[in-house]
Structure 1
Amino acid sequence: MGVQGETVLSIRELQKSFGSKHVLKGIDLEVQKGQIIGYIGPNGAGKSTTVKILLGLETADRGEIEVFGEKISDSNIDYKRKIGYVPEIAEIYDNLTANEYMTFIGELYGMTAEEAGDKAFKLMNIFGLEGVFHSKIASYSKGMKQKVLIISSLLHDPELLFFDEPINGLDANSVMVFKEILAKLAAEGKTIFYSSHIMDVVEKISSRIILLHDGRIVADGTFAELKGQNMDGTLEQIFNELTGFNEHGQIAERFVEIVKGGV
């Protein structure tokens, strides 16, 4: 399950519904400092809802959550200063330059404008983007915008990170660098939730994998532990086995038949 140590996050009996749809049906979870959690599941399993509740963007119907040993509530938002977040679909103020945007983000987290701008420039430089630091984000490619989002989430040196499909748009070299960054952050004691549909990446970087299906945790352990539970194969195969999805071959075959002019 990962290295036992300081508990960063504790969730008990977390439930959430939207109308008649029960999205979370009782999530129990304890996460230790320095773990990289591969938080995976089919669309609609409840991954994003869990994260939004932890960030205070949604309220739970039932359950108890402690972050850094403190119960979260509407009146307790100090814990958010220790959190970094890259959502799957991010709204970014692309009429601003990277300098303006990241200075603004830094100031939201209590940094001075000078401190945030200087740190942002150095991090942009590492990603090879120093030449566009004063250019409007609207002129950036998708990969460049993604790098700005990643840098923005780390600017204030957070203790707990939530990354939802963070490598979208990144080139192969940048993906390699980002994976190394995650490993080094975890070694420094940062705790990381990594959510993605790219199973081979999740398999390689995670110290612990949590699989949500139909609002419940159906697997929790290292990749080696999941394989040892009579589930040989890749994480993708384990994922399909536990979520009951075994129709990919038939669906692909039918799709190609139609492409070729079949009825």
Structure 2
Amino acid sequence: MQASAPPPAAVVLHDLWKRFGPQTAVAGLTLDLPAGSFVGLVGPNGAGKTTTLSMATGLLRPDRGSVLIHGVDVWQDPVAAKARIGILPEGLRMFERLSGRELLQYNGRLRGLPGAEVDRRAEELLAVLDLLEAGDKLVADYSTGMRKKIGLAAALLHNPDVLFLDEPFEGVDPVSAQTIRGVLGRYAASGSTVVFSSHVMELVEQLCDWVAVISAGQVIAQGPLDTVRGGRSLHAAFLELIGVREDDGRSLDWLGGAR
């Protein structure tokens, strides 16, 4: 009996390049992200993670290469591709003179959802993300954690196939972070795909089942979490893959000494 073929990748990034003047941010990056997985993109600051996610979601046009979302080309058919994704970018900008509830209602109608369905989903998301009491407050008055949660609610409102998150826990308090984790876990368990960018190895290790390590705009390791870490912690594997320069003790010998 012939084995069945594996399911197609949720996201296919092929030979992506992006330069900003003389600097190359992403250099021929190719990556197939498996459907139904919680995918972690990890790398040091400046590795090209945010640039890669921006190109994958249609926010930044690559100099070369292609992006497919469940077989739909992001740049040849952007409307169809973007209908299948939700995005929580780093430094998310919002309509701050709307309340949290109004922001969700506005996003839902932009997505073409019926008004009654938008209202139902918005109320459920506000409740699950512990934002019901703040639903009528202006977004301008939201804390960092509340902004992350309402941004996540807006990204999930249309029930996307793939959710892209760029540093979603940056500046978030532990209570809000735990709430966000719970919602993401439920979403991923339903068979949807989460693509999550971070430089915090411990967080990726707790949440993700598939990992890609990016350095200098290229993929240097990829695969299931256990394969990439190879019996070590992800933190130890990451440092070995990146190649951390050891301090020889001679630099900064003046720091903390007698004044």
Same fold (TM over 0.5): yes
1:138 paired with 2:137, answer no
Q: Tell me which of 20, 26, 30 is aligned to 1:28.
A: 30
Task: Give 5+ residue unaligned stretches, structure 2.
Answer: none
Q: What residue in structure 2 maps to residue 51 of structure 1?
A: 53
Note closer, same or farther for the CA distance 1:77–1:42 as it changes in structure 2 (3 Å cut): same
Q: Tell me which of 78, 81, 91 is aligned to 1:79.
A: 81
1:250 deviates by 6.1
The AA in structure 2 aligned to 1:65 is V
The AA in structure 2 aligned to 1:108 is L
**Alpha-carbon contact 1:208-1:223 (below 8 Å) kept:** yes
Q: Tell me which of 159, 168, 188 is aligned to 2:190.
A: 188
The AA in structure 2 aligned to 1:243 is I
- Post-superposition Cα deviations, 1:32-90, rounded to whole Å, max 9, x if no partner, equal 21011110111221111111112212111222322211223255421101111111111
The AA in structure 2 aligned to 1:235 is L
Number of aligned positions between the proteins = 255
1:191 deviates by 0.8
Query: In the TM superposition, what are the counterparts of 1:116-135 in structure 2 within 5 Å?
Result: 116-135=118-137
Question: What secondary structure is seen at the aligned counterpart in 2 of 1:13?
Answer: strand
**Alpha-carbon contact 1:146-1:169 (below 8 Å) kept:** no
The AA in structure 1 aligned to 2:206 is K
**Alpha-carbon contact 1:4-1:32 (below 8 Å) kept:** no
| TM-score normalised to structure 2 length | 0.88
1:160 deviates by 0.6
Residues in 2 aligned to 1:244 and 1:122: alpha-carbon distance in whole angstroms: 45
Note closer, same or farther for the CA distance 1:247–1:104 as it changes in structure 2 (3 Å cut): farther
- Post-superposition Cα deviations, 1:229-256, rounded to whole Å, max 9, x if no partner, equal xxx53222222222222447969x959x
Question: What secondary structure is seen at the aligned counterpart in 2 of 1:77?
Answer: helix
**Alpha-carbon contact 1:104-1:113 (below 8 Å) kept:** no
Note closer, same or farther for the CA distance 1:250–1:109 as it changes in structure 2 (3 Å cut): farther
Note closer, same or farther for the CA distance 1:135–1:69 as it changes in structure 2 (3 Å cut): same
Note closer, same or farther for the CA distance 1:11–1:128 as it changes in structure 2 (3 Å cut): closer
Q: What residue in structure 2 maps to residue 220 of structure 1?
A: 222
Specify which structure has the higher proportion of helix: 1
Residues in 2 aligned to 1:99 and 1:250: alpha-carbon distance in whole angstroms: 55
Q: What residue in structure 2 maps to residue 6 of structure 1?
A: 8
Q: What residue in structure 1 maps to residue 98 of structure 2?
A: 96
Task: Give 5+ residue unaligned stretches, structure 1.
Answer: none
Note closer, same or farther for the CA distance 1:173–1:132 as it changes in structure 2 (3 Å cut): closer
| TM-score normalised to structure 1 length | 0.87
State the Cα RMSD in Å.
2.5
1:151 deviates by 0.8
Residues in 2 aligned to 1:203 and 1:4: alpha-carbon distance in whole angstroms: 25
Note closer, same or farther for the CA distance 1:254–1:93 as it changes in structure 2 (3 Å cut): farther
Question: What secondary structure is seen at the aligned counterpart in 2 of 1:131?
Answer: coil
Note closer, same or farther for the CA distance 1:177–1:130 as it changes in structure 2 (3 Å cut): closer
Identity %: 30
